[in-house]
Structure 1
Amino acid sequence: MNTINRRLVLGGIGALGAAGVLAGCGEGSAGNPGAGPATGDGGAKGYEGPNVELDFWNGFTGGDGPFMRKLVDQFNSENANIKVKMTVMQWADYYTKLPTAVSSGRGPAVAIMHVDSLATNAARNVIEPLDDVAKALDLKQEDFSEVVWKAGEYEGKRYGIPLDVHPLGFFYNKTLMTQAGLDPAKPPATADEYAAALDALKAKGIQGHWATPFPFTGVLSVQALLWQFGGQLFNEDSSKATWHEEPGVKALSWFTDLVKNGHSPKNVAQDADNIAVMNGKNAFVWNGIWNINTFKEKKGLEWGVAPLPNIGGTKAAWAGSHQFVLPKLKTPDQNKSTAARVFVNYVSQKSLEWAKGGQVPARKQVRDSAEFKALPEQAALATQIDDLHFPPPVPGIGDALAELNKAVNESVLLKAEPGKALADAAARADKILEANRKKYGA
């Protein structure tokens, strides 16, 4: 199932966020040149050198994989002197193998990285700065959106070229809404509307929003709610966790109350919330945009998708982002360096095809195109683009966020009250943040 594969888009919410440190990465060894240092024209004028082969690594093992494969094949057919060889692996394996490969001089020329892993891998010297690419291709913040553009930066340098954003969206079962007397053409969009809809569903014996205690998608939902209530995960310099403050308590309380008030069963298993919507047992689920194709594959399912309802008073949603990176190797090869940049630019401009795999293109010109707007579900979630949030660009931030995962789990399983669970988790996270500052030399 596509949904289960998509769990690993969460590059920094737990162990994956720290994977970049495994090899203690410095520069690679000679003998296998790849993307060189940031020099030249950034690929703006194309590539006219001798034939080169580029290894391209990513973790697109799910339904999105064929869409990227199609783009690679198209690029290869249009660039006779560049052959891109795509290697796909599970994201968990990817984040372990990539730093090790770079350290040993066997890294790829091009790779994809989740936005919340950029800072960790930049700090560990795994990936190259890409300021030359942005400058040469005249890429600017207004070509994307402020949040996704700034997310590719670390300590004043650009390390990622945004490919997409994949936000949470509000998926709903139209058949169950109709049974409860709700209008399936008007999904609830405010806190009051949402509460009324849940009560109407409950009156018909339907537990309308199952609350999972797991990162996917319980923790992501709580993060979105925290931002909606006006809070932040960390303080301004990310030295302290702030999720235990009032907005965070309100967020986790709202989510836990789904269980306490009978809108959700207790002990909801991983992915059970989403499966229940597809099987007509659960009406509402907050899930990632990649879920669009999962729902499309379910025969007979009458469903819709909309931006997250505004529960806390401020529009906000969790999102991830895939970004192109160029792994750092010791021996530069200017031909491969230029060719890699040409490939990055090509796919970025052709990201409409990528959107069909269940993504929002990062490039504004693609989002504004008639072709993208003809993808109604993706276009609906793209309207959230300026309301999306990412974790701060801090090395090892996923280590600290893992403590938030524990707090959500304890609260939703009714083992601890939201305020205490969050406060205890914040205290543990503060120690991790301090240790990481020493580890990464910040």
Structure 2
Amino acid sequence: MIHNEMSRRRLLGLGLGLGAAATLTLAGCGGGDDSSGPAAAGNGGKDYTGPKVDLKLWNGFTGGDGEIFKTLVNQFNSEHQNIAVSVATYQWEDYYNKLPGAASSGNGPDIAVMHMDQLATFAARGVITELDDVASALELSEGDFAPTVWKGGIYNDKRYGIPLDMHPLGFYYNKAVMEKAGLDPNKPPTTRDEYMAALTELKKSGVQGFWVSPFQFTGGMTFYSLVYQFGGSLFDAEVNKATFNSDQAVEACTWLVDMIKQGFSPANVGQDADYLAFKSGKNAFNWNGIWQVNDLKKSADIQWGVAPLPQIGSTQAAWANSHNFTIVKQRSQNANKVSASKVFINWLSQHSLDWAKGGQVPARKTVRDSAEFKALTEVNALAPELEYAAFPPAAPGLGEVMTTFYNAFNEAALGKKSPKQALDDGVAKANKQLEDNRKKYGS
């Protein structure tokens, strides 16, 4: 279970592994009537009164969240006799590779779930269609969502995604390990001074309390968070230049590398070894995704807690991404299907409380403010991060640039280069990639 879960969520990040060849997993695929038929009145998803349509929906929810998602789809189908949604589930890397060709050949889905950082790329390639009318007809605005999530669905001043959730990095703490070091297990550190004091006490008790992974999961995401906490950014406002070699970014990277040099973390931590060590009581603190909440809840022998990331720098910040609903362009667009797809997107957005049980923070404010969501103690603990989450910018082709960012951190964490040299070299490569992307996508 651990292996499958980690493989799945490795692709929740920023464009990682989209060129990888992995085994295709098809959970279900429903046929659809692609005949044009009389066009239904398009009212942006308020309702659908046209003839029955079959909709195909693609997603990458191959873990436990996939079962929750399918349950919600089944509920929608039972409440809408003239709309039948069938679900096809793929590994994320296969999904993003397969979608453009499937759409252009007429074999793609009607609705596609997509990470925020992929929206601009697929919009620029003409794979997905605009959804401004959905937001307008349903009277959705930035006030209904966190501003960062709402703005993330926009590319070239047009909306392409309706946000469903956000999944941030959180701070997990092992209460038993803390207690053995004389720390209060119910008061996790929240500031840099508290964090360093706790690590010092843990070290005295023979525990390297904070294992720094050199890989994207989770060290790279930790570094991403710290760049923004220290006042830096990964790119300039126009995403024309990479800026992750700024003084603030170098300071953030140096702080993490010093964790290793000062003995608070072992060197050369293996992929996922930081999380496995946390579960086995070999370290106390782990910066990891919200998707680990349900895994830890299944481990009754582990005494743990979760909280927003400690503020190590001058401001609060946390890596995060978001799932968005999109509508895929068809070779021959069926107005009935488009209208019905918008009804589904709105319905699931409104019913995202059950989706939160899969380990996601709902994007919709009314759901986050509900007593039912607040009763989901662990997931709700990370909801405050939504207000200061550092989401990826809307720029086509960003995935390969982010891989360069994570590779630069990897070189620094492994001691192959100094933090400054690793980040300088990474920025030089990233700027060339950004330039190539502007030529490729015409922006």
Matching residue's letter, 2:250 = V
Partner of 1:185: 186
* Pairing of 1:24-173 with structure 2 (within 5 A): 32=34, 40-44=42-46, 46-173=47-174
Task: From 8, 11, 29, give the equivalent of 1:8.
Answer: 11
Unmatched tracts of structure 2, length 5 or more: 22-32
**Please, which moves more after superposition, 3-12 or 175-184?**
3-12
Matching residue's letter, 1:40 = G
Change beyond 3 A, Cα 1:431–1:33: farther
Give the secondary structure class of the aligned counterpart of 1:201: helix
Cα distance in 1 for partners of 2:17, 2:175 equals 37
Partner of 2:28: none
Whether contact under 8 Å (1:173, 1:304) holds in the other structure is yes
RMSD: 1.9
CA positional deviation for 1:38 = 12
* Pairing of 1:422-433 with structure 2 (within 5 A): 422-433=423-434
* Pairing of 1:408-427 with structure 2 (within 5 A): 408-427=409-428
Query: Alpha-carbon deviations, 1:302-347, whole Å to 9, x = none?
Result: 0000000000010100001000000111211111111111100000
CA positional deviation for 1:11 = 4.2
Partner of 2:25: none
CA positional deviation for 1:400 = 1.4
Whether contact under 8 Å (2:40, 2:49) holds in the other structure is no
Cα distance in 2 for partners of 1:5, 1:276 equals 20
Give the secondary structure class of the aligned counterpart of 1:64: helix
Matching residue's letter, 2:52 = N
Cα distance in 1 for partners of 2:218, 2:34 equals 40
Cα distance in 2 for partners of 1:379, 1:331 equals 43
**Please, which moves more after superposition, 145-154 or 392-401?**
392-401
Count of residues in correspondence between the two structures: 429
Change beyond 3 A, Cα 1:56–1:3: same
Cα distance in 2 for partners of 1:145, 1:18 equals 33
Query: Alpha-carbon deviations, 1:345-371, whole Å to 9, x = none?
Result: 000000000000000000000000000
CA positional deviation for 1:290 = 0.8
Whether contact under 8 Å (1:118, 1:393) holds in the other structure is yes
Cα distance in 2 for partners of 1:47, 1:32 equals 17
Partner of 2:282: 281
Partner of 1:26: none
Whether contact under 8 Å (1:43, 1:136) holds in the other structure is yes
CA positional deviation for 1:104 = 0.8
Matching residue's letter, 1:373 = K
Change beyond 3 A, Cα 1:47–1:137: same
Query: Alpha-carbon deviations, 1:24-50, whole Å to 9, x = none?
Result: xxxxxxx9469x999821111x11221
Partner of 1:211: 212
Cα distance in 1 for partners of 2:249, 2:39 equals 42
Query: Alpha-carbon deviations, 1:216-241, whole Å to 9, x = none?
Result: 11111101000000001011211111
Matching residue's letter, 2:334 = D
Give the secondary structure class of the aligned counterpart of 1:184: coil
Query: Alpha-carbon deviations, 1:69-96, whole Å to 9, x = none?
Result: 1100110111111111011010000001
CA positional deviation for 1:4 = 3.6
Unmatched tracts of structure 1, length 5 or more: 20-30
Partner of 1:388: 389
Partner of 1:294: 295
Query: Alpha-carbon deviations, 1:231-263, whole Å to 9, x = none?
Result: 010112111111101111011111111111111
Matching residue's letter, 2:45 = G
TM-score by length of 1: 0.94
Cα distance in 2 for partners of 1:356, 1:297 equals 13
Partner of 1:269: 270
Cα distance in 1 for partners of 2:190, 2:236 equals 29
Cα distance in 2 for partners of 1:103, 1:261 equals 54
Aligned structure 1 segments of 4 or more residues deviating by more than 2 angstroms:
2-5, 14-19, 31-34, 36-39
Change beyond 3 A, Cα 1:212–1:204: same
Cα distance in 1 for partners of 2:73, 2:319 equals 29
CA positional deviation for 1:152 = 0.3
Matching residue's letter, 2:375 = A
Cα distance in 2 for partners of 1:342, 1:11 equals 29
Change beyond 3 A, Cα 1:251–1:132: same
Change beyond 3 A, Cα 1:277–1:39: farther
Whether contact under 8 Å (2:178, 2:184) holds in the other structure is yes
Cα distance in 2 for partners of 1:312, 1:109 equals 44
Matching residue's letter, 1:331 = S
Query: Alpha-carbon deviations, 1:378-409, whole Å to 9, x = none?
Result: 11100111100112111111221211111111
Whether contact under 8 Å (1:32, 1:105) holds in the other structure is no
Cα distance in 2 for partners of 1:372, 1:242 equals 37
Cα distance in 2 for partners of 1:393, 1:421 equals 25
Give the secondary structure class of the aligned counterpart of 1:336: helix
Give the secondary structure class of the aligned counterpart of 2:382: helix
CA positional deviation for 1:5 = 2.2
